[in-house]
Amino acid sequence: MDNTAISSFLFYLPLVFLLYLISKHFHRKFKNYPPAPFLTLPVVGHLYLFKKPLHKTLINISKRCGPVVLLEFGSRKVLSVSAPSAVEECLSRNDVVFANRPRFLAGKHIGYNHTSLVWASYGDHWRNLRKIAATEILSNNRLQTLHEIRADEVKSMIRKLDSSSKEDSPVDMKTVFFELMLNLMMRMIAGKRYYGDDKEVDVKEAARFREIVREVFLLSGATNIGDYVPSLSRLSVKLEENLRQLQLNRDDYLQGLIRECRERMVNDGVDGGVDPAGKRKSFVDVLLTRQAEEPEYYKDEIIRGLMGVILAAGTDTSVATMEWTLSLLLNHQQVLKKAQKEIDDKVGYERLVEESDMVELPYLNCIMKEAMRMYPAGPLAVAHESSEECTVAGYRIPKGTMLLLNLYSIQRDPKYWVEPEKFNPERFKGLEAVSSAKEHGYKWMPFGYGRRGCPGETLAWHVVGLSLASVIQCFDWERLGSELIDMSEGTGLTMPKATPLMARCKTRSFVTNLLSTYSI
C-alpha cells in the first residue's frame, strides 16, 4: 500500500467511525430504545466503560444518561435500571417477561447447565424447584421445626465470644459469623456441624467448604468476555477449566453429604418430619424421602443443586449483612446502646433473647433494614433476561435483553431518601414489620421482588435477627482504637467489607451469671 492510500485510509477512518456513531445514535432514536453513552465501539459496545465494582460504574452512567439506560455489552443488550418506578414496571407489570436468566459460562458449570434454582429459565422445571424450596426446605413450618438448631448455634457463638472476652483479645467477627452460619446451615441441611466450642470438629472438611464458597462467588462474579463477545470465547479457556474443576470438587463434596444422610437414615429409620427419637430431620433427609417416592424427579443432581444454592448463598450473604451491621453499630455507639436498652427492657436479664422476641424489638428491626439499605449483600440484583419485547418507562426493550437492577443506587438516591449516606435507623420507624419491596415503594428491596425474589428471605430474617440481637444483648462492644471502623467496600458477586471487622467485646455481668447457671 503506497503512502497516498495510507493517507486516504487515515483521513477517511475517523469520518467512517463518526458516521457509525451517528447512525447508532439515530437507530436508537428510531427504535425508541432507552438512552445510552454516545460512544458505542464496534464489537465491544460499552464494555470499555466496565470497571469494578459494576454497580458504581452503572451509577456514573446513570448520572449522565438517566435512570433507565440500554447498554451494549458486546453482542448482549443490557438494561440498567435505577429508579423505583421502572423497577415496578420490570418486576410487577413485566414480571413474567423478565423471569428468565441470561445464559453465562458460570451457569453452564456451577448451575448444572442452567438447571439449578438460581440459573434456570422460567418454566415448569424452575417452578418445580421453587416449589420444593418453598415447601420442603424454606417454609415457615420447616423453619419452625428447626428453630432449636438456630438457637443452639447462636448460644455456641456466645460461648466462644465469652472466651475471647475473658482473654481480652480482638475478635475477627467475619470468621465468627462465618463459623456460626456454616454450622447453622450445615445442621439444617445435612444434620452435621464443623465447629465446636473450642475447636473445629473437622478442620479439613470445614476448610474445604469455605474454599468452595469462596470460589463459587469469585468465579461466578468473574468477568468472562466470551459471555458478551462469543468470538473471543477462546480467551476464557482458563476460566472454564477453573469452573469445571470447581463443579467437580463441589459435586464430590455435596454427594458426600448426601451419602452420609442416606446412611444415617437407614441406620436410624428416619422417614418423617421428625424421626422416632424426636430428632429434627435435615433438609436432605426430607428430599431423600421425596426421592424414594418420586425417584424420576428427585435425582441426586436436583438435590445437589438445591443444597449448593442454599449453602453458598445462605452463608455468604448473611455473614456480609451481619458484619456490615455490627460495623455500623461500632461507629454509632449511641445506636448500639439504644438497641441494647430495647432488648434489656423487652427481654430482661433472666434469659437470653429468642427468635420469638424479634417482633417486640422494632428498633433492632429498623437497624437491620437501614444496614441492608446502605450495604445490600447484593448491590445488583441477580440478572434477569427478557423473554419477549416489552416496554419500560415508555421505552422499547428488545427480546433477550439482560436486566440489571441497581439496588445500591436506588437505596442511596437522595431523590428517594433524606441524607442517604447517613446511618439513620429511625427512618424506618413505623415500617419495622414491612418487608415487601412493593410496600416500600420499590425503594428498598435487598431481597429482590417478584417471581425471582430471594426464597430464603424469611430464613435470613430469623438468622440475622437472632444473631445480632444476641451479640448486642450479651456483650459490650468497642473498636480496637479511636479510629472509626473502615467501611470501604470490597468487590465480588456479593459486597463484602474490604477489610474484615476486628473488634473487642466484654461479656455483660448478667450473661456471665447465665452462662455459669444454665447449660447453654
Q: Which residues contact 483 (CB under 8 A, 6 or more apart)?
A: none
CB atoms within 10 A of CB 144: 11
| Nearest CA among 493, 481, 441, 353 for reference residue 88 | 441
Say how many Å lie between the first and final Cα of the chain, rounded.
Answer: 85
CA dihedral sign of residues 474, 475, 476, 478: negative
CA distance 60 to 64: 7
Q: Scanning the structure block, which residue is given the C-alpha cell 445488583?
A: 380
Question: Do you know the residue count of the chain?
Answer: 520
Q: What is the spatial distance between Cα 497 and Cα 324, in angstroms, rounded to a whole number?
A: 7
3-state secondary structure of 180: helix
Bond before 37 cis per omega within 30 degrees: no
Count Cβ atoms below 10 Å from residue 486 Cβ, excluding itself.
Answer: 11
Tell me the three cell numbers of residue 371: 444496614
CB count within 10 Å of CB 344 equals 15
Beta strands 68-73 and 395-397 are unpaired
- Helix runs in 102-224, H state only: 105-109, 124-132, 140-145, 147-167, 173-190, 203-220
User: Helix, strand or coil for residue 15?
Assistant: helix
Q: State yes or no: 454 annotated in a binding site.
A: yes
Whether 400 and 73 have beta carbons less than 8 Å apart is answered as no
| DSSP 8-state secondary structure symbol assigned to residue 493 | S
Nearest to 412 by CA among 456, 376, 368: 376
391 Cβ partners below 8 Å, 6+ apart?
Answer: 89, 397
Backbone angles phi, psi at 71, to 5 degrees: -95, 165
- Cβ-contact 376, 407 below 8 angstroms: yes
Residues with Cβ < 8 Å from 240, sequence gap 6 or more?
A: 105, 109
Helix (H) or strand (E) holding 300: helix 300-331
Q: Residue 346 burial (CB < 10 Å; 0-12/13-18/19+)?
A: middle
Helix, strand, or coil (residue 96) = coil
CA distance 179 to 188: 14
Distance between CA atoms of residues 32 and 450, nearest Å: 27
Residue 384's beta-bridge partner residues?
Answer: 403
Give the annotated binding-site residues for heme.
Answer: 454
Give the annotated binding-site residues.
Answer: 454
